[in-house]
Amino acid sequence: MTSSTHPAWDGLILGASLATLDAPQGYGEIRDGVLAWKDDRLTFVGSRADLPGTPQKLAREVIEAHGWITPGLVDCHTHLVFAGDRAREFEMRLGGASYEEIARAGGGILSTVRATRAADEGELLRQSLPRAHALIADGVTTLEIKSGYGLDFDNERKMLRVARRLEQLGISVRTTYLAAHALPPEFAGRSDEYIDAAIEWLPRLHVEGLVDAVDAFCEGIGFSPAQTRRMFEAARALGLPVKLHADQLSDLGGAALAAAFDGLSADHVEYTSEDSARAMAEHGTVAVLLPGAFHVLRETRLPPLDAFRQHGVPMALATDCNPGTSPLQSLRQAMQLACTHFRLTPEEALRGATVHAARALGLEDRGVLRVGARADFVQWHIGHPAELCYWLGGRLAHAVHAGGHRVV
C-alpha cells in the first residue's frame, strides 16, 4: 500500500482483467484494467494506459492484482432466514415418500414454521449468519431475503428484523414480505381470512422500515390469483414494488399478473406461457430462474427460455436458498446449475447473477463496473469468466468488496 498527501480516491486496483458487463452483449472485457473507488462509488473503470496520473498519487491504497474482477454478485431470491433444517425430509424423498406423506409425518413448510416460531431473534440470527457468510464468501454483495416462515405478525416481524441485522456483515440486504407463502395451521380452511390478516400486518411492518417489496406464492398449493391480486393491491397502496413466485408447478397466469402490476420479477416461471413472457417484456418484469429448486426437485419442465430471449425478457439467477427445496449456499453454484440444466451460456449466467439480478430488485446502481456505480466487486482467481460456471465448488473469490469495503 502506498499513500499520498492528498489522494483523490480511497482505493485503486490495477493489473487484473475487468468484466464490466457494461454493454448489451459480451463481458465488456478490459485487459490490464484499473478499478478505483471513493467512499462507496466507483470513480475510474478503464485500462492502466488511461490512468490520469501515477497510481500512488491518485489513491490512498494501491493494489496490484491478477485474474479477473467482476461486479459483485446479487442473490435476488432467498429464504435465508429460518430455523432448523429439513435434511430428514430429503432422506424420505429419496426413499420415495410423497409430499403428502412427508407432510403427514410432520414435515413440509410448516415444520420450518414451527422451528422459526420457536426461535427467538438472537437464535434466528445465529442460525442464519453461516448461510449469509457462505454466500458472501462466494461473491455475493447484495442479498434479498424473504419472510414467510413466521405466518403471524410477530414472527414475520422477527424474520424481517433478523434480515435487516445481516447488514452488519457489510453487504446490502433487501427485505421482501412473503406472508402469503403458506396457510398457517390456525387459519386452516380460511385462506381468505388469512390474506385479510396478512394485508393488515403489511403497513405496520412497512412503517418500521422492514419491507422493501411484497411477494406471494401464487399456485394451487399456495394462494389463488385473486388472493395474490389483493396482496399486490395492498402493496401498491403503500408504494411498494411486487415480486411473485409464479408458474412453478402450473400456469395460473402468475407471471402475467406480476407484469400487470409492473412487478420487479416473476420467479421460478417453469410453466410460464409465451403470452405471459410477452407481458413481462412489455412491463419490464425480470424472469428469475431458480435452478437449485429445479435440481433438488428433479424437475423436467424447463422455463420458456427461448420465449424470454425472443421477447427480450431479462433472465436473472438466484439460489432460492431455503431449507426444503433449495438448500443452496452458493450463487456461483446456481450459475453452474443454470448452464447445465437450462443451457444458459456462462455470459448469460454471469449477467443473470449481476446486472439482471440487480434489476430484479429495482437496483440500478450495481451489477456492472461503471463510474458512478456502487463499489461492489469481486477479485477472482480465474483465467476467464467462464470458469465461474465451470468449476463445481471450490474457493475462487480472492477478495469481495461491498460499498468500497473489503468484506472477504
Task: Kindly give the residue spans of alpha helices, DSSP state H, lying in 77-183.
Answer: 87-94, 99-104, 109-118, 121-137, 153-165
401 touches 54 (CB < 8 A): no
Binding annotation for N-formimidoyl-L-glutamate: 149, 322, 324
**Alpha carbon distance 100, 23 (integer Å):** 48
Mean pLDDT of the residues in the chain: 96
Least confident piece of the model among 91-100, 124-133, 234-243: 91-100
Binding annotation for Fe(3+): 77, 79, 245, 320
360 touches 243 (CB < 8 A): yes
Q: Give the type of residue at 125.
A: L
pLDDT in tens, 259-306: 999 999 999 999 999 999 999 999 999 999 999 999 999 999 999 999
Task: Kindly give the residue spans of alpha helices, DSSP state H, lying in 270-330.
Answer: 274-283, 291-296, 305-311
Binding annotation for 4-imidazolone-5-propanoate: 86, 149, 181, 248, 325
* All cell numbers assigned to 172: 446490502
pLDDT band at 4 (very low <50, low <70, confident <90, very high): very low
* All cell numbers assigned to 7: 489522494
Which residue do the cell numbers 413466485 mark? 245
Binding annotation for Zn(2+): 77, 79, 245, 320
The pLDDT of residue 6 is 61
pLDDT band at 153 (very low <50, low <70, confident <90, very high): very high
pLDDT band at 1 (very low <50, low <70, confident <90, very high): very low
* All cell numbers assigned to 91: 432422506
Binding annotation: 77, 79, 86, 149, 181, 245, 248, 320, 322, 324-325
pTM of the model: 0.96
pLDDT band at 7 (very low <50, low <70, confident <90, very high): confident
Query: What percent of the chain has pLDDT above 70?
Result: 98
